[in-house]
Amino acid sequence: MGYYQEQIETMGRDEMSALQSERLVKQVQHVYKNVAPYRKKMEDLGVEPGDIKGIEDIEKLPFTTKDDLKDAYPYGFLALPLKDCVRIQSTSGTTGKRVVAFYTLHDIDVWEDGCARAIAAAGGTNEDVCHVCYGYGLFTGGPGLNGGSHKVGCLTLPMSSGNTERQLTFMTDLEATILCCTPSYAAFLGESAHKEGLTDKLKLKAGIFGAEAWSEEMRRDIEKALGLKAYDIYGLTEICGPGVSFECEEQTGMHVCEDHFFPEIIDPSTGAQQPLNTKGELVFSCITKEAFPLLRYRTRDITMLTQDPCSCGRTLTKMRRLMGRTDDMLIIRGVNVFPSQIEAVLVGQGYPANYLIVVDRVNHTDTFEVQVEMTDEMFSDEVKLIEKREAELLAGMKSMLGISPKVSLVAPRTITRSEGKAVRVIDKRKI
Ligand code: DLL
């Protein structure tokens, strides 16, 4: 479907590399001159701006980590005087110091272009009504999609999160055609619309869902519940927010806006750059941003990059659906457990992806419980059947994880829904 910036989105590989090279060389000079931690990191590695002659030299540059940003909070990585900045946004983290990102007007323009590309790729035009219920405020979801929606020319509903009843009223009364929110909230809106008998009144054709991990099965459930085509969108505050990459109609991964954000995959333990189609940690370098231009930022997100031709005609490198984070791994009784493994078992056995993992430590031993919501149909089953289901789930989890959780089936809609990112893990062991 529609391109927002066709020339860039379909640019040949050589031309794109030349553009990235030119931009990186300039960016390295900018950060070396204006960002003290980068100058120090480069000096420590014995690298000078002149050593970076093109994008192929990016491996010579140091990485940046979330800890670097925390240590330098709030202004350490700022590359321009505050008088040139017009906005801050911040990460959604609840522990420790937040990361604060700064934007010039140009940086906001770059960010909103990414979101506009995402909306156009989902079929958005100036004929559409775009309902944005990502949170507005410090979180980048609302402001980013709002700006992208304006750029495409959609009639924009800046709903923000919360008040599901009002969301559904606006969505139906104003005939919203594009929905932007987290996938877990989209699933909840689908359930609520069904409960209120509003499903037939929905005019949605596309949903742009991101900010948290979701599965193919969840995509299919949401598409069915809301009668739309669901597109993945990725981003992080440190790089700009949503729109770093976005999905096209092929739905096989997200095209990276690599004219602004150069992607790499590295081996998280050695830092070595990995070839295309190899799983590892995603790293981004901002090659056009002015105020907060992070280089080789380690996202901790795990995926792979591909340049296989895409049927949409875009040549932008694609990143596959996120496969987890280097830091969301739980270690329970010595065994590595990823929430995505639990989700795979659930959806494989026909459960909605509404679950809660509760980990605790009692008498020096880890306790591990997975609470799983039943569908309405399952809930009306006899107790015997419910017990059988629990046993089946337990067997599925044991074979996937290698350890057995306590599986508790709970009534439909009893696990608290989040209007933003879903909370899937409560680890009481951390003090
Ligand atoms: O979540 C920005 C965003 C807003 C993206 C709206 C998409 C839509 P942060 O709060 O800084 O920013 O969180 C960034 O969220 O490193 C990923 O771990 C996760 N994440 C973002 N998009 C996806 C996605 C926003 N499509 C962190 N799939 C990232 C899986 C995602 N995880």
d(CA 106, CA 114): 13
Q: Which residue puts its alpha carbon closest to atom 29 of ligand 1?
A: 236
Backbone angles phi, psi at 24, to 5 degrees: -65, -45
Give 212 Cα–ligand 1 centroid separation in angstroms.
Answer: 5
- Residue 232 alpha carbon, nearest atom of ligand 1: 26
**DSSP string covering 217-282, please?**
HHHHHHHHHHTSEEEEEEEETTTTEEEEEEE-TT-SSEEE-TTTEEEEEE-TTT--B--TT--EEE
Q: Give, in order, the Cα–Cα distances in Å from 58 to each of 21, 61, 99, 121, 273.
A: 9, 6, 24, 30, 10
d(CA 296, CA 275): 16
Which one-letter amino acid corresponds to residue 136?
Answer: Y
Pocket of ligand 1 (CB under 6 A): 91-92, 134, 140-141, 210-213, 232-237, 241-242, 299, 301, 322, 325
What confidence tens digit (pLDDT) does each residue in 154-201 have?
999 999 999 999 999 999 999 999 999 999 899 999 999 999 999 999
What confidence tens digit (pLDDT) does each residue in 394-404 have?
999 999 988 89
Specify the pLDDT at position 94: 47
More confident residue, 212 or 10: 10
Flag whether the pTM goes above 0.75: yes
Q: Write 135-140 long-range contacts (CB < 8 A, 24+).
A: 135/160, 135/161, 135/419, 135/420, 136/160, 138/88, 138/89, 138/90, 138/98, 139/89, 139/90, 139/92, 139/420, 140/89, 140/111, 140/235, 140/237, 140/240, 140/241, 140/242
Specify the pLDDT at position 421: 86
Does residue 334 carry a pLDDT above 80?
Answer: no
Specify the pLDDT at position 214: 87
Q: Across residues 32-45, what is the average pLDDT?
A: 98
In this structure, what is the dihedral angle of CA atoms 373, 427, 401, 254, given to the nearest 10 degrees? 80
- Residue 325 alpha carbon, nearest atom of ligand 1: 18
Q: Which residue puts its alpha carbon closest to atom 14 of ligand 1?
A: 236
* Choice from 66, 145, 216, 234 to test ligand 1 binding pocket (greatest atom count within 8 A of CB): 234
What confidence tens digit (pLDDT) does each residue in 64-81 have?
999 999 999 999 999 999
Give 376 Cα–ligand 1 centroid separation in angstroms.
Answer: 31
Q: Across residues 275-286, what is the average pLDDT?
A: 98
Give 53 Cα–ligand 1 centroid separation in angstroms.
Answer: 32
Q: Which residue puts its alpha carbon closest to atom 15 of ligand 1?
A: 211
Q: Across residues 202-219, what is the average pLDDT?
A: 92
Rg (CA), the chain: 22
149 token code pair:
């929606």
Give 211 Cα–ligand 1 centroid separation in angstroms.
Answer: 3
- Per 3-state DSSP, the chain is made up of helix, strand and coil in percentages (nearest 5) of 35, 25, 40
Instruction: Quote the DSSP letter at residue 73.
Output: T
Counting DSSP H helices and E strands in the chain, the numbers are 12, 20
- Residues 357-371 as b/e (b if ≥16 CB within 10 A, e otherwise) read bbbeeeeeebbbebb
> Going from the N-terminus, what domains does the chain have, and what CATH number goes with each?
1-326 (3.40.50.12780), 330-427 (3.30.300.30)
Q: How many CB atoms lie within 10 A of CB 347?
A: 18
**Beta-sheet pairing, 100-103 with 87-90:** antiparallel
User: Mean pLDDT, the chain, as a whole number?
Assistant: 94
Q: Across residues 319-329, what is the average pLDDT?
A: 87
Closest CA to 396 of 362, 350, 363: 350
Q: Which residue has the tokens 């306790």?
A: 367
What confidence tens digit (pLDDT) does each residue in 240-255 have?
999 999 999 999 999 9
Q: Which residue puts its alpha carbon closest to atom 1 of ligand 1?
A: 211
* Choice from 66, 95, 212, 325 to test ligand 1 binding pocket (greatest atom count within 8 A of CB): 212
Going by pLDDT thresholds of 50, 70 and 90, the confidence category of residue 280 is very high
Give 242 Cα–ligand 1 centroid separation in angstroms.
Answer: 7
Give 344 Cα–ligand 1 centroid separation in angstroms.
Answer: 20
Bridge partners, residue 207, by sequence: 179, 230
